[in-house]
Structure 1
Amino acid sequence: MYSLIMTSGIRRLMEREFVPFVLALLIAQIWFKWGSFSLELVGFLAVWFVLGLLANILLGALKR
């Protein structure tokens, strides 16, 4: 995480990842009731990754 923040910068990171982060957090809070913090954390990170990927794809398509 440290190297990601240092290479991208906190402002750029927040601009790109804030919305996917919040959406993933809401999804995890509402639907992930697996009874294990570790499983829910992995699920949250996976959803955040997929939402971030989709956001990057959409932003790339809109810039073209």
Structure 2
Amino acid sequence: MYTLIHNLTASQLFKRQLPVFLVAFVIAELFYKFHSFTLECAAFLATWYVLGAIEQKLVPDKTPPRR
């Protein structure tokens, strides 16, 4: 998470990660009912990761990460 925040500009963060985050959040809210915060949080983070990977494959980023 630290690397994500510090390697992306604010516009990159909102353009690329916010939509994926929101989709993962909605999926988690609608479908994950494990009756355990830890399991639901882990499933949400895994969903966010997988959706982010899919989005990265479908729409590659053309701007280099900031240093």
TM-score greater than 0.5 by the shorter chain:
yes
Matches within 5 A, 1:31-46: 31-46=31-46
Q: 1:21 is matched with which residue?
A: 21
TM (normalized to structure 1)?
0.83
- Unpaired segments ≥5 residues, structure 1: none
Query: Which 5+ residue runs of structure 2 have no aligned equivalent?
Result: 63-67
RMSD between aligned alpha carbons? Answer: 1.5
Structure with bigger helix share is: 1
Residue-pair matches, total: 61
Runs of 4+ in 1 over 4 A off after TM superposition: none
Q: Which has the higher contact order (CA 8 A, sep 6+)?
A: 2
